[in-house]
Structure formats: C-alpha cells, structure tokens
Structure 1
Amino acid sequence: DALRAQLAQCLPAHMQPSAIVVLDALPRTANGKLDRAALPAPDCAGPVADSVDRLPRDIVERHLLGIWESLFERSDIAVDQDFFAIGGHSLLAVRLVDSIARNFGTRLPLDTFWFRGGTIRDIAAVLRESGGTQWPLRVPIKPGGDLPALFCVHTIGGNLFHYFDLARALSPGQPVFGLNALGVDGRTAPRCRVSDIAADCIAAMREVQPHGPYRLAGFSSGGMVAFEMAQQLRAAGETVAVLALLDTYAPGVHLRAQGGGLFERLVCRLRPYMNLQRLMHAALDMIGRTPHRGFPDAASAHWWAHWGYRPKRYPGRVDLYIAEESRREASRPCLGWSDVVPALDIHPVEGSHGLMVKQPVVQELARQLQQRLDDAAPARDAGGVE
C-alpha cells in the first residue's frame, strides 16, 4: 500500500501498475538478460476473503458486480476492491460508465471513480443517491458467449443471486441474463399477480432477444413465473425451446409432515394457513381484492402473487430439476407439475432445495442443464410454436 501511494504521487492513473509482485531477484537467461518468460504471472485480484462484508449486500451491488465481472472477464471480484487496483484504467472506466448508464439509466461523471471511490460499494452508494436511477429489469449475470442466451427469472423479492454459481458452472460460451419485474426497487408499486410479473420479464427479455426460440429457467418461486412466461410466449406465437424449473413447487404442494400420524398430516396441510397474511389472502382472493394499503415491499407482493396463481395446462415440454430431498418429502409426486404438464421430464439432482444451486452440487445441475440447452440448439433457427 505504501508503494502504491508513492507511485500515485508521481504517476498519472493510466500509468500506475495494476499489480505489484515482489521478487528476491529477477530471473535471467543463460547470457544474463532478463528472462521475461520466467516472470510469475501477477495476481491482480489479490487475496479475496469469503467474509460477508466483501459480498453484495443488495440488488444494486449485485447488478454492479455482474457488470464488473463482465468487463474484467473474471468471477473473483469483491465489492470492496478498488477498480484501479484490480486492473482498471481510464479506457475501461469509460466502458464502465457506458454500461452503468445502459443498466441503471444514470450516467456518472468519469471522475466518480477517482473522487467518489472506486469500489462497487462506493459506486452503489452514488447510484442510490441519484433520484433518477432506473432499476435494471435485465441483469447481465454472465454476458458474452456464442450460444443462445438463457434467461433466469428472479425469486421472491427480486433476488437473482441464486443463479450466480450456476451461471459460472455452465459452459464458458453460455450467456445468462437475469430478469426482474417492476417494483423490486421499492420506488414503484410491486406486481402482485404472476401474470404481470411474467409480462415484465418478457418485456425485459425482448430487449435482448426480440423473438424466440427462448430458453427460460427459474429456481424455486422463479420457476412459477418462468412457467407463466412460457404460457404467454406460446400464446403470442413464439417458440419456447427450453423451460427449466429448478426445484419449483407447484401451487398447493408442500413438504410432507415428519411422522405418519393423522395429527402430523393435518398440521402439515394446515401449515400454509397458519399465517395472518396467508389467511388475509385467502379471504380477499375469494372476492378478487388486494389489501387496500398495498404491500410494504416487493417480497410481500410476490408472495401474494404466488399464493393466487393457478397454472393452466401447458402443451410443451418442461424440464423439472428436482432436489433429492424435495423428491422424497414433497406432498405430491413431481412437485405437482405432472397435473398440468403431460410432457414433463424429470432430472434428479443430489442435495436439498437450497444446496442444489450452490457448490459443489451446482456442478451436477449445470451439467444436466447445459446438456438440455445443447440438445435444444438445433431448434434455434425454427419458427413458430414448437
């Protein structure tokens, strides 16, 4: 740090080294010249701890992290690492400003990275201060690549972090985008119907890919929205080449009670209604109303939306990737989807609901999902509804 500070006083930013490697001696060739091939590769990242304070804290920091990883073509960046310390320079800063403007609707002055702070956390704070910031409904989780893009739908509350490990475990050439609905920023009214959430996600997706064939995936509650997106796309005459539900429970399906007694089964069946919000939803849903005071946050609205969703019969193929624990303990076979999907393909994955999208289990999930995406590749030039 002392050396960097000294260099900063005598060199302009674009001439400052992005990494410093300390050696006991420079390697030499047999004739005494510098052996450049023997020099160790610089570690631009530096030590990155797995501590919580170096991970994204909210959706703004998660979006920015995705942008930085795309620019630097790396997946080991922490939110407290300085832009210039990890290899950034003035030309890359210009690209970063453009990317932030496209994703957030706010163009930051170029000197922001010098005078306001150069970390993801610093830039996120600047964006939050900007009253005109637009919330990105499309997040480049893993942009680039020459394969047809995979679009992943947010879970309750607008979370996309479930897909980060999965995206990295897929083929290097597989682009992955995250989709959000309006209202996840807390500034606009959140959607409280799955059909509206799906329509928002379709609009965001079409900015990247105007027409199908589409490849959709949704983990947990996100799978329900992906399912509705597929319904709407097919109704509009589009092709859905892949619809992947990642351990998504159909409405009304729950975990079985531990123990086979009558009381345990009764408690398990009534558990969804042992909640004031769920009881309120059941009462108002019967008369087609929503709470007159609205919803305190996006998560509350999304729960309301999922409680009221009634999936219709889907005529196309659906791939259900089901965690072993869910397969064993769910109250219905196939997590309830076989009732509305005749062409349902089951893909067992080891582990539990939460662990299937985390290392190391996500490697097996990624292998199976990538195989399905590759198998669907010949259909990308087809037209109409499959």
Structure 2
Amino acid sequence: MTAERRTVQEIEDLIRGLWEEMLDTDVLPTDDFFQIGGDSLMVVDVTVEARRHGLDMKTSAVFRHPTPASLARFLAGAGEEPAPATTPRAPQDLFLSADELWRTHGSTWAPDAPRCLFPLVTEGRGEPLFIVHWGNDAGFVWKATSAWGAGRPVYGFEAPGFRGAVRPLVTINDVADRYLAELLQVQPEGPYHLAGHCHGAVVAFEMARKLRAGGQEVALVGMVKPSALERFVSYGWGLDDITRYRLESLAATFGLQGDESLEEVFERMRTKEWYDDRLGPADLPRLQVQWAALALALHHYEPRPYPGPVLLFQDRKDRAETERNWLSVLTDVETHWLDYGVDDPRPLLSDPGVAARIKERLAR
C-alpha cells in the first residue's frame, strides 16, 4: 500500500513503530528523531525500512521532518508545504556537484598536485610509522595519533582532494596506490609499520596488502575503529546523492537553517574541531564531495584475505559486522573490543590504552 492510500495517522503509526524497533524506545508523535537516539547514519536504515513498507521516502525527508507527526503529514501529501522555519537545512552554497568539481579541478596524480603525506614527528629511530587519517583532520587528531610512534618518526596521510583544487579518488584501491607512491619515496624498503582510523584504517589495510603482494615485509597494521563495511548509503547512489545526504546531516548536526554564509558554517565546524585553521570557508564545498567520494569508495570495497599481523581496536557495538567483514579474512589478528557505543572514532583515538598497546607492539 502506498503513502497516497494511507491516512496521516496510519503513516504516523508506521513511522513510530519503525523508530521504536530501531531505537529500542517508546516514540511519541512529537519526538525528534535526532533527540531520542537517532543519528545521520541511521537515517539510511530508516529510509530503507520505510520504503520496504511501501512509503516513497528520501533521506532528506527525515532531516527536514524529524518527528513522526510532521514526517507523516509530509508523506501523506503535504509535500508542497514549506518545511517549518526550525527545520535544519544546508545553505545552497555548500553544494558542489561532482560534474562541476571534475570540470574545475585537476588530477591528484599531476606532478604539481598537493602532497598527501606529511611529517608529524621528525625525530626518532627505526622505520617510520605511517598513519592514514580519515580526511577531515583537526589538530587534535594529529596530536593524538602522533603519540603512537614509540620513538619512531611518524608520517600522516591526508585524503586526495582534502587540500587544494584536485579531484578526489573514488576507490580504496586508487587511494592506496596514491599513498604508496609517496610512502615509497620516504621508505623504499620494508619492514613497514602502518596504522589508520575509521576510513583510513581501511586504506591502511589495502596498502599493507599491496606491499605484501609486492614482496615487501609489513611488520604491523594498526586499525582503530575501522569502517565495519556495512551498507552506509543506497547502492544506487552516486556522488551527488551522497553529497546531499552529507549536507542534510551537517545541517542537523550544526543546526543550520539554510541562510548561513560559508564563513558562519566553517566557524561552527571549526569550533567543534571538525576542521582547523589550515583550511578555510571556501574549501567547504569541495570537502563535502571529497567526503562523499570516500563514502562511495568504502561502500564498494571488499577486503581480501590477509595473513600479516594486524592490531585491531573496535567498538563492541560493531562486533557482529566486524567479525563478518574483517575477522573472517584476517588470520593473524589481535583484537581489542572497547565500550564507547558511538560512531565517532575520536574517543578511541584518545584512549590511553589504545596508544599504549600500539606503542608496545611497535617497540618490539
């Protein structure tokens, strides 16, 4: 039965039932999805379940109509009515289409393209530790991961397209190749020590796999809260779809109303340590496409079996997915489960136990 054949009350009851099952809590018609335990990642699951029950719904509807009552009215045919003034909405200036970015930006493989590899700790002995960051790196992330080196030099990678007018890469394989081109300039021969967190942990793993396939020794791969590789967005989405989803998420997270300037948006994000002063407001549109490219790359990545040593830290809430998608292909893995219960990897990065265990392994 489609939304057009249902009453507002029937749709509202269905939405409340879906949210109650997903969030494991009672839901009132006026409850805000994001205030009762929902987050931007769960919006995709909400949308998929709603469509499975016959509702023609997009992810943007949940961001703009975050209560069962308002969402039901919208889906029942009130879509022509403007959203309430308090509904989060991203400024139009934040959106940059993939077509426009590809027309106006250069290749990350060009000789004059910005480098992806940066020294974090220049002093030290032994082979360096190479850390793959998730892309949106504020200063505290660099500081936290720099301490993992155990007396070694430490280098960090930034995602292609994070800095400068270059196009992002849209597969994990390509990102790994891009990073390895710079890594081998610093250290032509193994043994190698790699680490990464969130999206970066997946890239670090693929880099290690490529190095071993080329006959090099990889002494350690440290993976801190790697992506669990479950469905993040619809498999049919392209870069523009994921970018729009990203902007709806930012609007909900930062309370945007759609009339903010890029300077205002950047300041809110900088205050929350999403970005730092190495970037500026004009970078924001490109950075959201870069984020979408990383999400698309993760969505289509399938890890292959890896026999080398891996040190893995994961939030216990992601255990089932991690066992299915990661531990099933790792044969030499030391796994540590932590109880943070959040999607944000930053608490794990700051966990002293994580740093201590990585340093202990590197000190061997």
What is the TM-score of this pair, normalised by structure 2? 0.51
Match of 2:292 in 1: 300
Match of 1:112 in 2: none
> 2:189 corresponds to which letter in structure 1?
H
Aligned-pair distance for 1:354? 2.4
Q: Does residue 1:154 correspond to 2:146, yes or no?
A: no
CA–CA distance in 1 between the matches of 2:219 and 2:331? 16
Alignment partner of 1:211: what SS?
A: coil
CA–CA distance in 1 between the matches of 2:237 and 2:301? 19
* Contact 2:190–2:217 (CA under 8 A) maintained in structure 1: yes
Q: Which region of structure 1 is more displaced relative to structure 2, 333-342 or 200-209?
A: 333-342
Note closer, same or farther for the CA distance 1:158–1:210 as it changes in structure 2 (3 Å cut): farther
> 1:238 corresponds to which letter in structure 2?
Q
Aligned-pair distance for 1:134? 4.9
> 2:234 corresponds to which letter in structure 1?
Y
CA–CA distance in 2 between the matches of 1:230 and 1:274? 27
Give the one of 199, 206, 216 matched to 2:194: 216
Match of 1:185 in 2: 163
Q: Is there any run of 5+ residues in structure 2 with no aligned partner, and where?
A: 1-110, 243-285
Match of 1:105 in 2: none
CA–CA distance in 1 between the matches of 2:138 and 2:300? 20
Give the one of 290, 305, 310 matched to 1:313: 305
Match of 1:370 in 2: 359
Q: Does residue 1:345 correspond to 2:334, yes or no?
A: yes
CA–CA distance in 2 between the matches of 1:148 and 1:204? 15
Q: Deviations over 1:332-373 (max 9, x none)?
A: 354731111122211244645321112xx2x22111001111
* Contact 2:230–2:321 (CA under 8 A) maintained in structure 1: no
* Contact 1:180–1:200 (CA under 8 A) maintained in structure 2: no
* Contact 2:199–2:294 (CA under 8 A) maintained in structure 1: no
Alignment partner of 1:273: what SS?
A: coil
Aligned-pair distance for 1:169? 5.9
> 2:118 corresponds to which letter in structure 1?
V
> 2:297 corresponds to which letter in structure 1?
A
Aligned-pair distance for 1:157? 5.2
* Contact 1:349–1:364 (CA under 8 A) maintained in structure 2: no
Q: Is there any run of 5+ residues in structure 1 with no aligned partner, and where?
A: 1-131, 254-270, 282-293, 376-386
CA–CA distance in 2 between the matches of 1:275 and 1:196? 21
Match of 1:52 in 2: none
> 1:197 corresponds to which letter in structure 2?
V
Structure label with greater radius of gyration: 1
Aligned-pair distance for 1:168? 3.0
Note closer, same or farther for the CA distance 1:251–1:274 as it changes in structure 2 (3 Å cut): closer
Match of 1:273 in 2: 234
Q: Does residue 1:327 correspond to 2:316, yes or no?
A: yes
* Contact 1:163–1:357 (CA under 8 A) maintained in structure 2: no
Q: Deviations over 1:40-72 (max 9, x none)?
A: xxxxxxxxxxxxxxxxxxxxxxxxxxxxxxxxx
Alignment partner of 1:312: what SS?
A: coil
* Contact 2:233–2:299 (CA under 8 A) maintained in structure 1: no
Aligned-pair distance for 1:149? 0.9
CA–CA distance in 2 between the matches of 1:348 and 1:192? 30
Note closer, same or farther for the CA distance 1:277–1:143 as it changes in structure 2 (3 Å cut): same
Show the 5 A alignment for 1:348-359: 348-349=337-338, 351=340, 353-358=345-350
Q: Once the two structures are aligned, what percentage of the paired residues are identical?
A: 27
Note closer, same or farther for the CA distance 1:299–1:333 as it changes in structure 2 (3 Å cut): closer
More relative contact order, 1 or 2 (CA 8 Å, 6+ apart): 2
> 1:192 corresponds to which letter in structure 2?
V
Match of 2:215 in 1: 237
Show the 5 A alignment for 1:41-80: none
Aligned-pair distance for 1:301? 1.4
* Contact 2:134–2:159 (CA under 8 A) maintained in structure 1: no
CA–CA distance in 2 between the matches of 1:333 and 1:224? 12
Aligned-pair distance for 1:246? 0.6
Q: Deviations over 1:304-355 (max 9, x none)?
A: 1111111111122211022xxx213544354731111122211244645321
* Contact 2:228–2:322 (CA under 8 A) maintained in structure 1: no
Show the 5 A alignment for 1:6-25: none
Note closer, same or farther for the CA distance 1:311–1:219 as it changes in structure 2 (3 Å cut): same
> Structure 1 or 2: larger helix share?
2
Give the one of 178, 193, 218 matched to 1:200: 178
CA–CA distance in 1 between the matches of 2:300 and 2:287? 15
Show the 5 A alignment for 1:111-190: 134-156=113-135, 162-168=141-147, 170-171=149-150, 173-190=151-168
CA–CA distance in 1 between the matches of 2:133 and 2:332? 25
> 1:301 corresponds to which letter in structure 2?
A
> 1:317 corresponds to which letter in structure 2?
P
* Contact 1:153–1:160 (CA under 8 A) maintained in structure 2: no
Match of 1:42 in 2: none
